[in-house]
């Protein structure tokens, strides 16, 4: 090869190397920047999922407690109602004897330490009460809920005379229409805690472990492990040593904060939020290897428990660690890897958004999403957003409570899913689950007869399902709007009034708002 060509190649070699190094540096810089962004997103997503596990565990504990107490109070109310009905229907007792027997029964009955049964009428008058018989209590929200429901279970804050702070109280009641009596049983929640089924609760919490090393457990303020997959009955100090002192101190601070809030809380509202989720971190050594442990906990005041979920830092950060190792070993291909990960994250984000926007049983829009989707469609802000008349349809499954009671909640959920599946078949209609057994539809049609015919078509489809030994029927309320910028809440209120008319005039009907 000629010398001049060798010289040229020798001259070009460092230039090529510099270009390659520059490209690698630019690629590395770009990859690092994108990695940090992706790392933050993944950490946020992972921590949120971890956070959700403790929130779900709190709800499981509270629901299990409420269900146990509800069954107990329901038994008391049922027995009381039968006893009172027998006395009221007795032909050998005069009115004064009946009154005295019922009052003696109320006075002698005790629920927990301070709970009691009582009887009122639909005007809110306390007919029988250990202390306040004759008083009208219709102004209280929980009394109004009892009056408005034949079968009612309600939680609320209440302060008895002599109490320093309000406490959570629970009341179960049934209405006796023949005598216009509401038979109720009421007790403080913290006096009925022994009814909780800990074995059932433990089984439910076991299902909410997060990842491979994460799990949920419950301790009291002294650190005793009340519910734990492997070490129930021991103390948390036996597991994590002196690190337990810092954890218990934070839990006690949370309990103290709750007590301060309760002392400052002067209302009897039942709108009382749970404590905030708090975090704690410690190191633990197992098999000569040191692990960082991340813990989230929430104080559950009614049992003086702390519900705790812990996971190793390595597992919590595992997605980002995997990315970091890829970055160090595959610098050239890192850009493509980051792009793929970003696409996956974006897909995951879209799936999460879809889950948040949809009802889990039916796949229809939930109430909030339905509002956000429909609200822009009924406005006319400019020439590009031309208004088109529309109708709103509210549908309600008739006697849904009876379906749940007779066939169970799984069948009830199946019925709801059937209704949702039927509505989802119409791509030109916006459909949502509005709450419970109630559904809502938005349709671009102001022909009343056409909308009624469409609604009846849905009802017919659903009634053709042979899921139960009885027909599934729907009541419907419709309203039609021919002008823009009417508030969606006002439109739904019109449809709701039409639905109310259908349900209170025989059910299994369709009513248009203009016909009431």
Neighbouring CB atoms inside 10 A of 113's CB total 10
Do the domains 195-316 and 12-194 match in fold? Answer: yes
HSE, side-chain direction, 13 A CA sphere, residue 109: 25
Low-confidence ranges of the chain (pLDDT < 50): 1-11, 13, 266-272, 337
Identify the three-state secondary structure at position 357.
helix
Long-range CB pairs of 129-134 (<8 Å, 24+ gap) are: 130/106, 133/103
CA dist., res. 215 & res. 190, Å (int): 27
> Taking the alpha carbons of 337, 356, 273, 57 in that order, is the dihedral positive or negative?
negative
Return the CATH superfamily for domain 367-512.
Answer: Reverse transcriptase/Diguanylate cyclase domain (3.30.70.270)
- The residue with tokens 């009291």 is 220
Identify the pLDDT of residue 62: 78
Q: Which residues contact 487 (CB under 8 A, 6 or more apart)?
A: none
Domain boundaries along the sequence of the chain: 12-194, 195-316, 367-512
CA dist., res. 456 & res. 159, Å (int): 51
Strand 167-176 with 151-158, pairing: antiparallel
CA dist., res. 188 & res. 468, Å (int): 40
Identify the pLDDT of residue 2: 46
Which helix (H) or strand (E) segment is 153 a member of?
strand 151-158
Identify the pLDDT of residue 8: 46
φ, ψ (nearest 5 deg) of residue 219: -130, 160
Global pTM reads 0.42
> Taking the alpha carbons of 83, 89, 91, 97 in that order, is the dihedral positive or negative?
positive
Identify the pLDDT of residue 271: 43
Identify whether the C-beta of residue 295 lies closer than 8 Å to the C-beta of residue 282.
yes
pLDDT digits 0-9 by tens, 341-398: 566 656 666 776 777 788 989 999 999 999 999 999 998 765 666 889 999 999 999 9
HSE, side-chain direction, 13 A CA sphere, residue 64: 21
Q: In the chain, how long is the greatest CA-to-CA distance?
A: 132
CATH architecture of 195-316: 2-Layer Sandwich (3.30)
CATH number for the segment(s) 12-194: 3.30.450.20
């Amino acid at each position: 090869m000629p010398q001049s060509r060798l010289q040229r190649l020798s001259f070009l070699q460092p230039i090529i190397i510099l270009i390659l190094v520059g490209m690698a540096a630019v690629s590395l810089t770009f990859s690092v920047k994108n990695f940090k962004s992706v790392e933050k997103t993944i950490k946020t997503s992972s921590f949120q999922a971890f956070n959700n596990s403790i929130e779900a565990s709190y709800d499981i504990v509270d629901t299990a407690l409420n269900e146990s107490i509800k069954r107990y109070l329901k038994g008391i109310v049922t027995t009381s109602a039968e006893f009172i009905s027998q006395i009221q229907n007795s032909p050998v007792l005069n009115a004064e004897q009946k009154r005295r027997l019922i009052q003696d029964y109320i006075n002698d009955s005790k629920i927990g330490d301070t709970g009691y049964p009582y009887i009122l009428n639909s005007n809110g008058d306390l007919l029988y009460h250990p202390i306040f018989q004759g008083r009208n209590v219709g102004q209280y929200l929980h009394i109004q809920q009892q009056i408005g429901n034949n079968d009612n279970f309600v939680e609320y804050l209440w302060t008895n005379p002599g109490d320093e702070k309000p406490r959570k109280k629970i009341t179960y009641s049934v209405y006796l229409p023949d005598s216009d009596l509401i038979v109720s049983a009421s007790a403080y929640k913290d006096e009925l805690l022994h009814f909780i089924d800990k074995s059932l609760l433990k089984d439910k919490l076991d299902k909410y472990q997060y990842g491979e090393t994460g799990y949920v457990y419950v301790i009291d303020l002294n650190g005793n492990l009340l519910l734990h997959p492997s070490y129930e009955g021991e103390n948390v100090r036996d597991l994590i040593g002196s690190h337990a002192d810092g954890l218990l101190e934070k839990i006690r601070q949370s309990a103290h904060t709750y007590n301060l809030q309760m002392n400052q809380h002067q209302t009897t509202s039942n709108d009382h939020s749970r404590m905030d989720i708090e975090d704690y971190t410690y190191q633990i050594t197992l098999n000569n290897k040191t692990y960082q442990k991340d813990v989230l906990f929430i104080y559950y005041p009614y049992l003086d428990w702390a519900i705790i979920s812990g996971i190793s830092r390595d597992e919590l950060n595992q997605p980002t660690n995997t990315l970091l190792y890829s970055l160090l070993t595959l610098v050239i291909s890192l850009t493509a890897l980051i792009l793929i990960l970003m696409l996956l994250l974006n897909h995951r984000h879209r799936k999460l958004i879809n889950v948040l926007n949809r009802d889990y049983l039916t796949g229809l829009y939930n109430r909030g999403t339905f509002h956000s989707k429909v609200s822009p469609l009924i406005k006319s802000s400019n020439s590009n957003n031309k208004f088109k008349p529309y109708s709103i349809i509210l549908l309600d499954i008739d006697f849904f409570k009876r379906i749940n009671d007779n066939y169970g909640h799984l069948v009830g959920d199946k019925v709801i899913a059937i209704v949702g599946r039927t509505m989802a078949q119409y791509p030109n209609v916006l459909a949502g689950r509005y709450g419970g057994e109630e559904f809502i539809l938005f349709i671009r049609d102001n022909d009343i007869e056409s909308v009624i015919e469409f609604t009846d078509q849905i009802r017919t489809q659903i009634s053709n399902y042979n899921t139960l030994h009885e027909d599934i029927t729907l009541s419907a309320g419709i309203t039609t709007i021919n002008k823009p910028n009417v508030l969606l809440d006002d439109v739904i209120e019109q449809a709701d009034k039409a639905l109310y008319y259908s349900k209170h005039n025989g059910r299994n009907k369709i009513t248009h708002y203009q016909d009431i």
